[in-house]
Amino acid sequence: MTVYTSAGSTLRVTASAPATFDESGYNTLFTSSPLPSLVGEIEDYGEFGREYNLVTFNPVDTRGTKKLKGSFNEGSIALTVGLDTDDAGQILMKTASDSDDDYYFMVTTQNGDRYFFAAKVMMFKNVVAGVDDITRANITLEITTNDAGVGIVESLAA
């Protein structure tokens, strides 16, 4: 196994849903013409992935805490971008922030791994900071799970 940097990673977004919420459906969506919008000038992708809630039970007779997995949450992604008001991907993300609908995303890493997911764009805030700073936007994506329990779909490079 080889580790790699995040350099060269990309994010694409579309308002169109895949035909199926699996690797095949997402691959078709993100390779069909016209290609979904590329989001430019991303400085930091943050983190994402499923996290379970801890459920505990304390039986009196043994006094030991039993720990189980409860519900899960696919998490959120806090993106930081250099604000580009002409970037098609950023424009679509800003539009999505005013919508209650899911939008569909593909993160591609340097080695070709792909992560597909549906998310709601919960925040798109402009950041105008100091004289030596780039004007940025902070964007929050809340990854959703469909009724079949599908959230993030991985397509790992061979």
Note the pLDDT tens digit of each residue in 129-139: 999 999 999 99
Q: Do 113 and 156 touch, CB atoms closer than 8 A?
A: yes
Tally the domains of the chain. Answer: 1
What are residue 13's DSSP bridge partners? Answer: 37, 105
The pLDDT score that the predictor gives to residue 158 is: 79
Q: Is residue 108 part of a domain?
A: yes
> What is the CATH classification number for the domain harbouring 39?
4.10.410
The pLDDT score that the predictor gives to residue 112 is: 95
Give the whole-number percent of the chain exceeding pLDDT 70.
99
Q: Is residue 2 part of a domain?
A: no
The pLDDT score that the predictor gives to residue 144 is: 97
Give the whole-number percent of the chain exceeding pLDDT 90.
96
d(CA 77, CA 67): 28
51: helix, strand or coil: strand
Residue-wise pLDDT for 70-87, tens only, equals 999 999 999 999 999 999
Q: Is residue 3 part of a domain?
A: no
The pLDDT score that the predictor gives to residue 51 is: 96
Residues of the domain holding 91: 10-155
pLDDT value at 3 more than 80: yes
